[in-house]
Structure 1
Amino acid sequence: MMKTNPFKPTAGAEPPVLVGRDTILKDFEIGIEEGVGAPGRLMRITGPRGSGKTVLLTELGDIARQHDWHVVDVTATDHLPELICRRLEKTDEIDYSVELDFMVVKAKAQKDSSQKLEDVYEVMGHAVRKLTKEGKGLLVTIDEVQDASVEDIREIAVAVQHLIRERLNIAFVFAGLTAGVMSLLGEDGPTFLRRAYPEELDTIPVDEVATAFHATFEKSGVHIDEDALAEAAEATAGYAYLIQLVGYYVWRSAQVRTGASIRSISMEDVRSGVVTARREFERTVLETAIARLPRTAMEYLLVMAENRLASSTGEIAERMGVSASSLTATRKMLVSRQLIEPTARGYVDFSIPFLREYLIEHRQALLARYGVEG
């Protein structure tokens, strides 16, 4: 009988082990259990692409459901408050006897923003009051929140804030790219959400990755020796998405080698799986991250790639033959897209693992996109 691959590298799919995220999950569950006002009920999750934000939102939703809460998950888009209202409208658990025509709401919203605020609060409030009375609650999660408008987020924040003040069971968790979220919560952003409990998804220690790999393989009845385990863990660079990719393709390599019934993972399986995982990571993460960059931004990254460690912004400008001040906007844009990050005053480094190696390997093809010879 063929054993099922326990690793799930599909975006948003729930992996068998949420490595290094136990504290966040516990913070949230404590918030649900402690009641209104607990910090874990208002949370912002930030991190680079592939750091596991969407997976974490899924797991938080599962925890809420285990406590008999209702969950509304949305991804930032236009008319976000209306989308949340529509999701609540479709909830079987909540009787919407309240008179509210959503088409009318939309029409009113276009004419009168104050009416829109009132309607979002009314719809969410109707749901939360009913759930609270039954000893339940409502969790609303927003993914890719950096893509939402400040106005939409402010409307939702006002509604959530008022419902918390009414001592109702509501939790609100939003996730997105670090720079984008901080920009959204800047001077014009809702002050209330700046107080959300911050959870930054950093890279995961390699020894924790190794422990998780070992536990996952052993649970499936598959042995892996220490050297192969160490090499597989090291290949992930502690990056959440890579953990799933490496695990998935190492398992698949062993499956190809041994057939349906896998009993052990060899070093050959690890090395073959890592090569495939790295190639898939380049396709799904790295190529997407640098797509549609302006030429100056691409040249900036290629100059950075020549350095083994962090790069001086002054040296980058010198190599590009321009003034450092002329590259300020380019640097800020690359930071906001979380391709690079400041490491010290006047120094930057790559935010995504293996981006340096990818740029070096594909330099000629990347420059050819802009009609430049490598």
Structure 2
Amino acid sequence: MRKVNPFKPTAGAEPPVLAGRDAVLDDFEIGLEEGVGAPGRLMRITGPRGSGKTVLLTELGDIARQRGWRVVDVTAAEHLPQLICRRLEKTDSVDYSVELDLMVVKAKAQKEEPHRTEDIYEALERVAGKLTEKGKGLLVTIDEIQDASVEDVREIAVAIQHLIRERRNIAFVFAGLTAGVMNLLGEDGPTFLRRAYPKELDTIPVGEVEAALRATFEKNGVRIDEGALATAADSTAGYAYLIQLVGYNIWRAAQVRGGGEFDAISAEDVEKGVAVARREFERTVLETAIAHLPKTAMEYLVAMSEDVLASSTGEIASRLGVPASSLSTARKLLVSRQVIEPTARGYVGFSIPFMREYLIENREALLARYGVEG
């Protein structure tokens, strides 16, 4: 019987084993247990693209549902408060009530009129209030929150803050790109959300990656020796999306080799799978990250690629033959898109693994787009 590939490299798809995020899950679960005001009930999750933010939001929602909580998941868009209100109406459109009359139990499902005139506070209070009375609660998650307006986020934050003060069982978790979230919560942003429990999704230790890969293979009846496992884990650089991409393509290589039937992963499977995963990662993540950059920003990245470790902003300017001040706009753009990140005062590094290698290998083609010789 053909084995189904257990790895899920599709954006946002929940992997079979969630590696390296136990602390976040534990803090959230403890927050639900400890009640109103617990830090784990108000959380911000940040990290670069492909670090597993959306997957983590899904997992937190599953934890809440297992406890009988209602969950509303949205991705930031225009008119975000109204979007949350519509989702609440959809999930709360039927009210099941029980009447006791002369020892006769009558159950009825009463269809409520849509609450089209409610603001975000009223909508959240209506649902969270009912759930709190039943010993349950409401979790609201917002993904890609950096794409929301400050005004919309402030309106939601004020509503959440009031509900916590009124001791409603409500939890709020929002996720987004680090630089974008910090800009959103800057001087003009909602002060209340700056106090949200911060969770930055760093790279996952190689040991935890090995454990996750091994668990996934073995759970599905497939063996892998320690050498091949170590090679596979190292190739991911601890990057959440790459873990799934590498695992998927190693499994696929074994399928092809065995004609659909196999019970072990060979070193050759790992080699082929990693090579395919790397090409796919370049196409879906690296190329996307630098698409449509202005010429100065691309030249900035190419100049950075000459350094093995962090790059001095002054040295980058020297290589390009321009004043450092003339590159501030390009640097800010690259930081905001989370292609690079400050590592110390006057130094920057790449935020995404293998970006340096990709720039070196494709230098001529990348610069040729702007009519520049590599």
Aligned position for 1:368:
368
Distance across 1 between alignment mates of 2:73 and 2:272: 37
What residue is the counterpart of 2:184 in the other structure? 184
Contact 1:282/1:358 (<8 A) preserved = yes
- Aligned match of 2:202: 202
CA distance in structure 2 between the aligned counterparts of 1:280 and 1:83, rounded to whole angstroms: 34
Q: Secondary structure at the match of 2:51?
A: coil
Q: For each residue in 1:202-225, what CA deviation from the matched residue of structure 2 results, as whole angstroms up to 9, or x when unmatched?
A: 001111111111111111111101
Letter of the structure 1 residue corresponding to residue 203 of structure 2: T
- Residues 30, 40 of structure 2: 8 Å contact kept: yes
Q: Which amino acid aligns with 1:353?
A: P
1:206 counterpart letter in structure 2: V
Instruction: Look up the equivalent residue of 2:230 and give its one-letter code.
Output: A
Task: Find the residue that maps to 2:370 and give its secondary structure.
Answer: coil
Provide the TM-score with structure 2 as the length reference: 0.94
Distance between the aligned counterparts of 1:7 and 1:47, measured in 2?
Answer: 22
> Alpha-carbon deviation of 1:93?
6.8
Q: In the alignment, which residue of structure 2 is the partner of 1:160?
A: 160
Provide the alpha-carbon RMSD of the alignment.
1.4
* C-alpha displacement of 1:98: 7.2
Q: Which moved more, 1:61-70 or 1:361-370?
A: 361-370
Q: Secondary structure at the match of 2:203?
A: coil
Secondary structure of the corresponding residue to residue 91 of structure 2: coil
Q: Are the structure 2 counterparts of residues 14 and 93 from structure 1 closer, same or farther at C-alpha, using a change threshold of 3 Å?
A: farther
Report what 2:44 is aligned to.
44
- Residue 203 of structure 1 aligns to a residue whose secondary structure is coil
CA distance in 2, matches of 1:227, 1:151: 53
From the superposition, tell whether residues 341 and 130 of structure 1 become closer, same or farther in structure 2 (CA, over 3 Å). same
Give the letter aligned to residue 120 of structure 1.
Answer: I
Please report how far the alpha carbon of residue 261 of structure 1 lies from its aligned counterpart in structure 2 after TM superposition. Answer: 2.4
1:343 to partner: Cα distance: 1.6
d(CA) in 1 for partners of 2:35, 2:113: 30
2:35 maps to which residue?
A: 35
* Aligned equivalent of 2:67: 67
Find the counterpart in structure 2 of residue 109 from structure 1: none
Alignment correspondent of 2:268: 268
2:237 corresponds in structure 1 to 237
In the alignment, the residues of structure 2 paired with residue 22 and residue 297 of structure 1 have an alpha-carbon distance, to the nearest angstrom, of 37
- Structure 1 partner of 2:12: 12
Provide the identity percentage. 77
State the Cα deviation string for residues 248-298 of structure 1 (Å, max 9, x = none).
000110011012222100110001000110111111111111011111000
Alpha-carbon contact 1:50-1:239 (below 8 Å) kept: yes
What CA distance in whole angstroms lies between the structure 1 residues aligned with 2:113 and 2:8?
43
Is contact 1:120-1:159 (8 Å) kept?
yes
Moved more, 334-343 or 172-181: 334-343
- State yes or no: 1:143 paired with 2:136: no
Please list, as runs of the form range in 1=range in 2, the aligned pairs for 1:299-310 lying within 5 A after superposition: 299-310=299-310
Tell me if the contact between 1:94 and 1:130 (Cα under 8 Å) persists in the aligned partners: no
The letter of the residue matching 2:140 is V
Cα offsets for 1:287-343 (capped at 9, x unmatched): 111011111000000010111111111110011110011111211221111111112
**Any conservation in 2 of the 1:340–1:348 contact (CA below 8 Å)?**
yes
User: Secondary structure at the residue paired with 1:90?
Assistant: helix
The alpha-carbon distance between structure 1 residues 336 and 325, as it changes in their structure 2 partners (threshold 3 A), is same
AA aligned opposite 1:55: V
3-state secondary structure, aligned to 1:171: strand
Q: TM-score, normalised by structure 1?
A: 0.94
1:341 aligned residue: 341
Equivalents in 2 of 1:170, 1:97: separation in Å? 24
More helix by share: 1
Distance in 1 (alpha carbons) for counterparts of 2:156 and 2:94: 20
Deviation at 1:373, TM superposition (A): 2.4
What is the rounded CA distance, in whole Å, between the counterparts of 2:139 and 2:94 in structure 1? 14
Shift in Å, 1:4 = 1.2
Please tell me the residue identity of whatever aligns with 1:54. T
Aligned pair count reads: 360
Instruction: For residue 119 of structure 2, give the secondary structure of its aligned residue in structure 1.
Output: helix
Matching residue of 2:296: 296
Runs of 4+ that moved beyond 6 A: 96-99
Counterpart contact for 1:312–1:346, Cα < 8 Å? yes
TM-aligned CA distance change 1:342 to 1:293, over 3 Å: same
| 1:279 matches 2:276 | no
Q: Quick check: 1:332 aligned with 2:332?
A: yes
Give the letter for the 1:288 counterpart: T
Q: Does the 8 Å contact 2:313/2:346 carry over to 1?
A: yes
For the residue of structure 2 that corresponds to 1:72, the secondary structure is strand
CA contact (8 A) 2:85 2:120 kept: yes
One-letter amino acid of the structure 1 residue matched with residue 29 of structure 2:
E
1:120 Cα deviation after fit: 1.1
Q: Which amino acid aligns with 1:291?
A: A
The unaligned stretches of length 5 or more in structure 1 are 106-117
Tell me whether 50-59 or 84-93 shows the greater mean CA deviation: 84-93
Deviation at 1:87, TM superposition (A): 0.5
Unaligned segments of structure 2, at least 5 residues: 96-109
Q: Match for residue 318 of structure 1?
A: 318
CA contact (8 A) 1:94 1:127 kept: no
TM-superposition CA deviations, 1:113-146 (whole Å, max 9, x none): xxxxx71111111111111112211110000000
Q: Distance in 2 between matches of 1:99 and 1:264?
A: 58
SS of equivalent residue, structure 1 residue 334 = helix
Contact conserved, 1:223 with 1:263, CA < 8 A, in 2?
yes
The answer to whether the Cα contact below 8 Å between 1:46 and 1:176 also exists between their aligned partners in 2 is: yes
Deviations 1:181-202 (A, max 9, x none): 0110001000000010000000
